[in-house]
Amino acid sequence: MIVTTTELFKHAYGKYAIGAYNINNLEQAVGLFRGNLGKVKKNDEPVNENLAAPFILQISRGARSYTDKRFLEAIIRAAEEVFPEAIFAVHLDHGTEEVCYDAIDSGFYSSVMIDASHEPFEKNVEITKRVVDYAHKKGVVVEAELGQLGGVEEDVAGSVCLTDPAQAAEFVRLTGCDSLAVAIGTSHGAYKFTGKQGVRLDRLAEIQKALPPGYPLVMHGASSVPKEWVDRINAAGGKLAQTSGVNEADYLKAAKLGVCKINIDTDGRLVWCAIYRESFRDKPEDFDPRTPGKVFMAAYAEYIIHKNQVLGSAGQLKEVRSLLTARV
Ligand SMILES: O=C(CO)COP(=O)(O)O
Ligand SMILES: O=C[C@H](O)COP(=O)(O)O
Ligand SMILES: [Zn+2]
Ligand SMILES: [Zn+2]
């Protein structure tokens, strides 16, 4: 069942965070749905309610244009039928104004992100407000961004510029956006922090205090970039040096400070890269695309289960399901 992020955030606020996972292809979709239902190897395994989690499926502009946006949509529609127990939001990640309108008009996305954070404050407000007004008329909710993450974010090269708490409150008031992505020291990709710096929970606490009670915040660039996966990639011929990620122990700390959505893309890519490299290394005679694909879907499902455990969303599906069905 596709729901809005608002419905998920209400349940999560202050207690745990919902995993927001980017996908680009069929194998990632299957692994993602399995993992969020506590299944690993087969689609028809029984749901494991102790592990099952509500989640957000994110589609970036790059994912939409990788093949054709209609392919991803068809895969997700099929997944809804194959995994009828899943409760998730379909979210456009880092949209421009034009792409937001396209996603809203499609009737498929329950949530969009307008990212005008590279614009000056007033322009960011102006663009975000237009998207919010358009989206709300069609029942779609909007995530916006204020402040800039470090590193490269699609075609926006940002330098770390933490979100100002007072500006955040003003931004939310002026735009009416439903959730806000804040810059608290993280960046996209596998090379996040230099030295000992980490997530700026102190700044996050100030932002939470400045906003209305219960207002949902979003953490981008939240992959933990696990050493285990980086080492496996390198042992299978990869060349990733000096990687660094978010400490997984910070996820729940951030959730207690109002972060309801935690964005993870890079970690899924690392799992993908390690599994495919190992498969090609260990089975050089095999050229069947399903050989690494099968291993990847199971490994990705297991990884999603792990992530949901550290986010605190594992095991929450049952309660979310009963709340949503009681409401109907
Ligand atoms: O923020 C993200 C997508 O919007 C993903 O962040 P990572 O690169 O840390 O996975
Ligand atoms: O914000 C960046 C996300 O990780 C999406 O990345 P992508 O644009 O390469 O799909
Ligand atoms: Zn941004
Ligand atoms: Zn992001």
CA dist 168 and 297 (Å) reads 39
- Sign of dihedral through CA atoms 285, 290, 294, 300? positive
DSSP at 45 = S
Q: Which atom of ligand 2 lies nearest, measured to the CA of 94?
A: 1
φ and ψ of 13, to 5 deg: -50, 125
Ligand nearest to the CA of 144: 3
Amino acid occupying residue 42: K
Which 3 state secondary structure label does DSSP give 157? strand
223 annotated ligand-binding residue: yes
CB 25 within 8 A of CB 60: no
Comparing CA positions, the residue from 89, 38, 98 lying closest to residue 59 is: 89
Confidence at residue 149, expressed as pLDDT on a 0 to 100 scale: 84
- Is 62 touching ligand 2 by the criterion CB < 6 Å? yes
Question: Atom 1 in ligand 2: which residue has the minimum CA distance?
Answer: 153
- Is 60 touching ligand 2 by the criterion CB < 6 Å? yes
- The pick from 56, 94, 192 for probing ligand 2's pocket by mutation, whose C-beta has the most ligand atoms within 8 angstroms, reads 94
Quote the pTM value.
0.96
* Burial label, 72 (beta-carbon count in 10 A; 0-12, 13-18, 19+): buried
* Catalytic sites, residue numbers: 93
φ and ψ of 295, to 5 deg: -65, -40
For residue 221, CA distances in Å to 4, 119, 126, 310 come to: 22, 20, 25, 16
Confidence at residue 27, expressed as pLDDT on a 0 to 100 scale: 98
214 phi-psi bin (left φ>0, alpha ψ -120 to 50, beta other): left
Contacts of 272 by beta carbon, 8 Å cutoff, 6+ apart:
27, 28, 296, 300
Domain range list for the chain = 5-327
CA of 327 to the centre of ligand 3 (A): 35
ipTM of the assembly?
Answer: 0.96
Confidence at residue 160, expressed as pLDDT on a 0 to 100 scale: 58
263 annotated ligand-binding residue: yes
CA of 32 to the centre of ligand 1 (A): 16
Question: Atom 7 in ligand 2: which residue has the minimum CA distance?
Answer: 62
264 annotated ligand-binding residue: yes
CA of 190 to the centre of ligand 2 (A): 12
Ion ligand 3 neighbours, Cβ < 5 Å: 115, 117, 145, 153
Residues with CB under 6 A from ligand 1: 22, 93-94, 188-189, 220-223, 263-266
Tokens matching residue 283: 């089975």
CA of 220 to the centre of ligand 1 (A): 5
266 annotated ligand-binding residue: yes
Return the CATH class of domain 5-327.
Answer: alpha beta
Provide the residue count of the chain.
328
Ligand nearest to the CA of 23: 2
CA of 144 to the centre of ligand 4 (A): 11
278 annotated ligand-binding residue: no
Q: Digits of tens for pLDDT over the chain (328 positions)? A: 999 999 999 999 999 999 999 999 999 999 999 999 999 999 999 999 999 999 999 999 999 999 999 999 999 999 999 999 999 999 999 999 999 999 999 999 999 999 999 999 999 999 999 999 999 999 999 999 999 887 544 444 344 589 999 999 999 999 999 999 999 999 999 999 876 678 999 999 999 999 999 999 999 999 999 999 999 999 999 999 999 999 999 999 999 999 999 999 999 999 999 999 999 999 999 999 999 999 999 999 999 999 999 999 999 999 999 999 887 6
